[in-house]
Amino acid sequence: MAEREKRGRIGGKSPNPYHEDKKYPEPTECPRCHLNYRNGRWQHKDDTDESHESHSSHCPACRREIDRLPAGLLYLSGPYLDRHREEILNIVNNQSKSAAANRPLQRVMWIEQGSDNTEIATTTNHLALRIGKAIEDACKGNLIIKHAHDAQLVRVYWERSE
Ligand SMILES: [Zn+2]
């Protein structure tokens, strides 16, 4: 059974520069990943749009990558992971690719192997949840979701012991 702990709320209007809802002048281009901010959201450049001067500002995802400040952390652990590592990392890759196709601010920032778990950091809390739930769907196991007090970070723990 998944144990769910929810404090505060994720998202909503927030003054922090990492937040996806922060407004920018239009058009703004991210100098790092070259996403364009148009019609109120960051999106891939439209080739048909040979527009004039853009403002320049890092998008929220690049800001998080530069500062190494994830919005989601997913921890994978348990003996099942050791035996199915490749399969599970494929789920991670597939989920992050399909999430990024629709929402390019959703990115995996790093996958790090620790001594007792594998840590996956994401630029949005939604992506950590999405990947964790996809692994639970495919591999069963136990998923625990913990929202931080300040609601800026979600931690997701997935474990399967056998
Ligand atoms: Zn960017």
Measured in Å, residue 35 CA sits from the centre of ligand 1 at 6
Q: State residue 3's pLDDT score.
A: 42
Q: State residue 109's pLDDT score.
A: 97
Measured in Å, residue 111 CA sits from the centre of ligand 1 at 19
Positions in the chain whose pLDDT score sits under 70: 1-17, 47-52, 151
Measured in Å, residue 114 CA sits from the centre of ligand 1 at 28
User: Domain extents for the chain?
Assistant: 28-63, 70-159
Instruction: Give the helix, strand, coil percentages of the chain, each rounded to 5.
Output: 30, 25, 45
Pick among 3.40.1580, 3.30.70, 1.10.10, 2.40.480: CATH of 70-159 = 3.30.70
CA distances from 30 to 19, 80, 100, 142 (A): 15, 40, 16, 38
* pTM recorded for the entire structure: 0.84
Q: State residue 48's pLDDT score.
A: 66
Ligand 1 ion: residues within 5 Å (CB): 30, 32-33, 59, 62
